[in-house]
Amino acid sequence: MTTEETEQQAEQPQEPAPQEAPATTQAAPARPERPRRGRFGGRRKVCAFCVEHVDIIDYKDPLKLRRYLSDRGKIEPRRKTGTCAKHQRRLSVALKRARHLALLPYTAEHIRLTGIFAPRS
């Protein structure tokens, strides 16, 4: 394109956009737009230990620690439980101590034999 052609296009007036007819009925006030979350993007989980201001995770409380083990006896990852990095490290140490003292199972076979875990609903 030459400069003359671009100047001619710039001089041409743009057609105004068609305006919508005013609504005759009272419409409800518009809600502010919320950011849409993708297929897997949901609300960020908050760390339960941070909410309760827990500094020390007690390894002698198997009922609380059981929540952070899978049905196979594995330690659940942060993305699943929502714990922060600091508390996840402390939680894994507490879980390992509880396993060592036989308060929590190591494997799924231990779970079947002892019957400690009820299936999650």
88: pLDDT strictly greater than 70: yes
- Is residue 40 one of the residues assigned to a domain? no
- Is residue 23 one of the residues assigned to a domain? no
pTM above 0.95, yes or no: no
- Give percent of the chain with pLDDT exceeding 90: 45
- Cα–Cα dist 90/26, whole Å: 57
Which tokens sit at 107?
């494997």
119: pLDDT strictly greater than 60: no
CATH code, domain with 95: 4.10.640.10
As for how many domains the chain has, the answer is 1
- Is residue 8 one of the residues assigned to a domain? no
- Is residue 7 one of the residues assigned to a domain? no
- Is residue 89 one of the residues assigned to a domain? yes
Which tokens sit at 113?
């034999």
Residue range of the domain that includes 88:
45-121
- Residue 69 has φ and ψ, to the nearest 5°, of -115, 145
The pLDDT tens digits of the residues spanning 6-17 come to 666 666 666 666
The residue whose two tokens read 């052609």 is 5
- Is residue 34 one of the residues assigned to a domain? no
Higher pLDDT, residue 101 or 110: 101
pLDDT at residue 110, rounded to an integer: 80
- Is residue 55 one of the residues assigned to a domain? yes
The residue whose two tokens read 């518009």 is 30
Asked whether 94 and 102 are in contact (CB, 8 A), the reply is no
- Is residue 26 one of the residues assigned to a domain? no
* pLDDT level of residue 31 (50, 70, 90 thresholds): confident
Start-end of H helices in 12-114:
48-51, 62-65, 78-81, 85-100, 108-114
Which tokens sit at 27?
């419409």
- Cα–Cα dist 109/56, whole Å: 30
